[in-house]
């Protein structure tokens, strides 16, 4: 038998590609096995099962997103940084819709703690450094950023903006402007 040379990582990547093609919800062990040219049972040497596979895809997506975030924020501040980070999430979601959904997959607390999740909070805080906020207000603002980035991205991805003018890009710019305004005029 020719060996396929699988590793947990390779299986995860195949799963991520599949997710982008057919949707995260349709990622099954069987489909991944077919994709990598192996019997289903063989996957179980590399991942514990479907749930583990989905979790690994989620962790991969979170890391890819955080890496892009780091790159985007380097050398930027204020409104520029805000737009750059927002674009990271929105662009990633459009390039990799399945992975983006995966990143919303609920992780158990232990896994979440060792994931790239905390890096995302740090990215938001980095954007907020340019605005003058107290510690507590910064937390509120982190949540606002998360809500707007994720909310807009997820509604756009779900096709919520498809059948009305003007196009989403225009609204995106205006929404980011609005958020910038909110952050500038944030008052206790």
Q: With binding defined as CB under 7 A, does residue 49 bind DNA?
A: yes
List 106, 116, 119, 126, residue binding a copy of itself (CB under 8 A): 106
Q: Rounded to whole angstroms, how far apart are CA atoms 50 and 166? A: 41
Q: With binding defined as CB under 8 A, does residue 110 bind a copy of itself?
A: no
Where b means 16+ CB within 10 Å and e means fewer, 100-125 reads bbbbeeebeeeeeeebbbeebeebbe
- The one segment of 7-15, 43-51, 75-83, 166-174 that binds a copy of itself by CB under 8 A: 166-174
Q: Rounded to whole angstroms, how far apart are CA atoms 54 and 62? A: 12
Tokens 């990143």 found at? 103
Q: With binding defined as CB under 7 A, does residue 41 bind DNA?
A: yes
Output the smallest distance, CB 44 to DNA, in A: 4
Output the smallest distance, CB 157 to a copy of itself, in A: 9
Q: Which is nearer to a copy of itself, 121 or 126 (CB)?
A: 121
Give, in order, the Cα–Cα distances in Å from 83 to each of 11, 69, 167, 174: 34, 11, 18, 11
Q: With binding defined as CB under 8 A, does residue 147 bind a copy of itself?
A: yes
User: Does residue 106 contact residue 55 with C-beta atoms inside 8 Å?
Assistant: no
Output the smallest distance, CB 15 to DNA, in A: 11
Q: Rounded to whole angstroms, how far apart are CA atoms 13 and 7? A: 10
List 23, 25, 44, 181, residue binding DNA (CB under 7 A): 44
DSSP letter for 80, please. Answer: H
Output the smallest distance, CB 78 to a copy of itself, in A: 17
- The one segment of 22-30, 124-132, 138-146, 169-177 that binds DNA by CB under 7 A: 22-30
- The one segment of 39-47, 92-100, 151-159, 164-172 that binds DNA by CB under 7 A: 39-47
């Amino acid at each position: 038998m020719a060996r396929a040379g699988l590793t947990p990582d390779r299986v995860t990547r195949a799963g991520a590609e599949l997710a982008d093609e057919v949707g995260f919800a349709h990622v099954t062990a069987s489909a991944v096995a077919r994709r990598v040219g192996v019997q289903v049972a063989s996957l179980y040497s590399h991942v514990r099962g479907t749930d583990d596979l989905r979790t690994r895809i989620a962790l991969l997506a979170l890391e890819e997103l955080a890496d892009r975030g780091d790159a985007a924020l380097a050398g930027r501040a204020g409104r520029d940084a805000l737009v750059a980070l927002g674009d990271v999430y929105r662009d990633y979601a459009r390039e990799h819709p399945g992975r983006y959904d995966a990143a919303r997959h609920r992780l158990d607390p232990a896994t979440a703690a060792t994931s790239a999740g905390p890096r995302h909070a740090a990215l938001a805080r980095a954007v907020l450094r340019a605005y003058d906020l107290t510690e507590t207000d910064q937390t509120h603002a982190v949540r606002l950023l998360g809500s707007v980035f994720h909310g807009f991205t997820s509604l756009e991805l779900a096709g919520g903006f498809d059948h009305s003018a003007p196009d989403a890009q225009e609204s995106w710019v205006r929404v980011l402007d609005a958020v910038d305004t909110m952050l500038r005029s944030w008052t206790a």
